[in-house]
Structure formats: C-alpha cells, structure tokens
Amino acid sequence: MNETFEFTDKLKKQLFIMMGIGLLGLVMVFFLHPHNSHARFWANILANTYYFTGISIFGMFAVSAATLAYGGWHVLVKRILLSLAAFVRVSGFVLVLIVVLGLLNVHTLYDHVKEILHESPVAENHTTKVIFFAPAFWISRLVAYAFLWALFSWAMNKFFARTDQTDPKVYKQSKLLAAAFIVTFAVTESAASWDYIMCLDTHWYSTLFGWYNFASYGCAAWAMTILLVIYLKSKGYLSRVNENHVHDLGKLLFGFSIFWTYLWFDQFMLQWFANIPEETSFWVKRFGEGYFKFTIFGALIINFLFPLFFLIKRSAKRSFKMIGFGSALLIFGHYVDFFNYVFIEPNWNHELQHGHHAKLQTEKVVLYAQHEEHPAAVSDATPAHENKAEVAGEVKHEGAGHEAATEAHGEHGAVGAEAHGEHVAGGHGHEAPVSNFAGIGVGELLVFIGFLGAFLFAFFNNLSKRPIIVENDPYLKENEKLVVTYS
C-alpha cells in the first residue's frame, strides 16, 4: 500500500490562517508592551522558535536512535518523525538572526552577554565567558548548528525514503548516517541550549541544562507525533497503524515525562540545597514574581502530575481521544516551561533594576531559604559593608522621606523585598510598580498558535513529497504485526 499525503488547499488555507493569527499576536505584543525595546515581542519570537526547533531536531534523533538500536517499532511512523525536522531548515537560521540583532542593539534579550563583553562594572569579568561569547566565536557556533541541522534534515529525509532499503549496502549506510547525527545532536543540542537560553542570565548556570532541554524536546516531540498520527488516521492514512502503535508512542511520552520531572527536581533541589548565589538567584527571581511562581509550578503540574495520574493507565494510552487530549496539554505545558526560562530576564522594569533588582542580577543575592528562617539575615555572598542599614537606606531613599516607615522596612522587610523582587514604596501602602513586564496573555497565545501553524505547514509540505511508509523497509512486516499485551 503506497500512501502519499495530499497537502490540500483547504489545509494550507487553515495553516495560513493560524500563521495570520500569530502575526496578529506579534503586533499586539509589540504595541501593547513597548517596554525595554519591545523585549516581550522578541522573547515571544525566541521562545517559540527555540521550542519548535527542539521538536524538529528530536524527530531526527528518535529515528537515529531506533536505527542504531536495530529497532523496528518506528517504521510506520518514521516519515512522520523525519518530517518534524523540516521546520529546522528555516528556524535554525532565524535563531541566529535573533542573536545577531541582539548584538546590534535591536533588542535587549542578550544584554547580560553584552555587559560581560564590554566589561561593565555590573557584570563579572570572567575570562572564560568573554572568550566563549566573543561575537565571532558565538555567531560561528550558531551558524554551524543551523547548517548541520538543516543538512541532516535534508539528507535523512531523502535517504530514509529510498525504496531500496533492503539492500545491505544501503542498510549499512543508514547506520552510518544515524551515528553521524547522534554525535552531532549530542554536541549541538546541549551547546545550543547554553548559547540561546542559559546565557539570557549569564550569572546563572546548570550543569544538566542540556539534558533538561533534551527531555523537554522529547516530551513535546512524542506528543506532537501522537497528535499527527491520530490526525492522519482520521484522514484515511496510516491504515496499518493501530492502537498498539499509539500505545508504544504513549509509553515513550510517559517515560520522557517522568525523565523530565527527574531532571526538573534534580536541578531545583540541588541548587536550592547547595545555596550558592549564582545558582539560587535563578529561583529567587522567579519566586519573587508571583506570576512566575505560578507558571513554574503550573508547568510542573501539567508536565508531571498529569502524565503520572493519567498517562500511566493502559486504557489512556490506547484511546485516541484520551491520548490526544493528553498530548495537546503536554505540548502547551512544555511551552510554558520554556516561557519561564526566556521571559523574565529581558522584561525587568528598568526603572527598578538599579534598586532592588540590580542586586538580584548579581551574586549579591539574599537567599530565599535564609530569608524564610531569619528575615534579617543576609547571604554570605553579600559583603559585610552591604549590611541591612545600607539596604534600609536604599528603601528610605525610595520612600520619599518617610523615615519611620522606611526604617521599619529596612529592619524587617527590605531584605525580604529584595529576595521577592518586590518594590517597597514608603509606609502608606502605595501599590507597588510593576517589576516585570512578562506574562502569558492573549498575545502570547496567538503567537504560539502562529508558530504552531508554521511548524505544521513545514511538516505537511515535507510529508507530501514522498510516501508516508517505505514499503521495502526490512522491519516493515515485523512492525505491522505489533501486538501489545503489557501496560
């Protein structure tokens, strides 16, 4: 049975409408949130481009890993996984452009990197960071990632669709191609996560950040694959795919969700327990903003508790409606997770940044855990001369002369206000000014829909060029007979 997907005009029109909605969202974000050189506008572009690029490259990884492991389970969905990678042929270079525009001062996403490069007094003068983010070296790495991803996307889609897969020479070549991409993926995936996301805050670091991104890519990619399999079956394609194959995909989705949770907790628990300012500052800033504290734990509930209590059931993984709903929810949940990483740094209120928030962006962090036990305690990382009296003086200056109230805030509340990222404004209970302009509003949701439309357009356009199922694949008959008798 030679199945070839027909990319109809109706479907194209629907996807163009989605992309139009995304453009509308970008316009809304641009004009409604002009703060900090339209940082929220650029953060939307970065977060969505990076997120869907991760899904793309994971599709190639899944095929490569199954090929090297002599796996046959993926044969019926191999072309779907490879077509996920079509988006990266454009998005990889869009990511490069975002960084270049940042270095040209078009936006403020990478201002912390520029501070280090210009040896700003606010920034640390780390020789290794200066070398690592030297513009020529930085941009050359990003171009290399984009070129390699696009090259492998083209090569793997062309090679694995060949009709002579049973030829021993071709089969051996497929192993070599898969091995080459696995090595490339291992290096570029981790390095890209540092270059695009972790460097938004150059003071913070995580030794497992590359693995964390990998797990999130995997969850989103398996969820996207499940939804696309269900959609294609509803249109009369993939007739040989049944609930047993979807069950297998559901188990992979569940497994990666638990793996992601392990890395989330590992990163959070170790950094919180170690109490090192460079690490803890990441969580202090986000827990100090009520919105981000909500989205951090909201993403954890969606991405962990939902799979744990829902996808663990055998019946849920074998029901197209239930696994489809779960997959759609997890795609959004992992987008929220990347939102938490991308949006907070560029969207600080510059008017407050030189007060309380300036301290949060250096090593002089009042650790959240210490504040809860001893409200007047200051981190060991804070020099002795920066005691609570000096902090109280800052608050007193902001309080416009209300000495009694500011003294009380300095003694008991200023340190907590810095830890929470709040603005203390005198003793009259005035409403605190906005400290961060980030948020998931209507504009963000529309932009997400637009990028999803662009991703699906690239996917369906690539899928329509070759048969969905390679009939001469040596593992095809084995895969057609797949029967699952376990949970």
Amino acid at 77: V
Q: What is the pLDDT of residue 224?
A: 97
Give the separation between CA 54 and CA 192, rounded to whole angstroms.
10
- Quote the CA–CA distance of 286 and 60 in Å, as a whole number: 34
Question: H or E segment at 60?
Answer: helix 35-68
In this predicted structure, the answer to whether residue 267 has a pLDDT above a threshold of 90 is: yes
Q: Classify 127 in phi/psi space as left (phi over 0), alpha (psi -120 to 50) or beta.
A: alpha
Torsion of CA 407, 408, 409, 413, to 10 degrees: 140
pLDDT band (50, 70, 90) for residue 349: confident
Lowest mean pLDDT among 273-287, 297-311, 330-344: 273-287
Sign of the four-CA dihedral 22, 454, 93, 346: positive
| C-alpha distance from residue 215 to each of 218, 257, 470 (Å) | 5, 8, 29
Task: Provide the residue type at 174 as one letter.
Answer: S
**Amino acid 374: pLDDT:** 46
| pLDDT, tens digit, 9 for 90 and up, residues 357-396 | 444 444 444 444 444 444 444 444 444 344 434 433 443 3
Whether the per-residue pLDDT at 120 is higher than 90: the answer is: no
Averaged pLDDT for residues 262-285: 90
d(Cα 114, Cα 107) in Å, to the nearest integer?
A: 12
Full-model pTM: 0.83
Which parts of 69-134 fold into alpha helices (H)? 78-83, 88-103, 111-117, 127-132
pLDDT at 285: 87
What is the pLDDT averaged over residues 129-149? 94
Query: Where would I find the beta strands (DSSP E) of 121-266?
Result: none
Token duo for residue 320: 């197209």
> What average pLDDT does the structure give for the chain?
82
Which residues share a beta bridge with 436? 348
Least confident interval from 53-62, 92-101, 361-370? 361-370
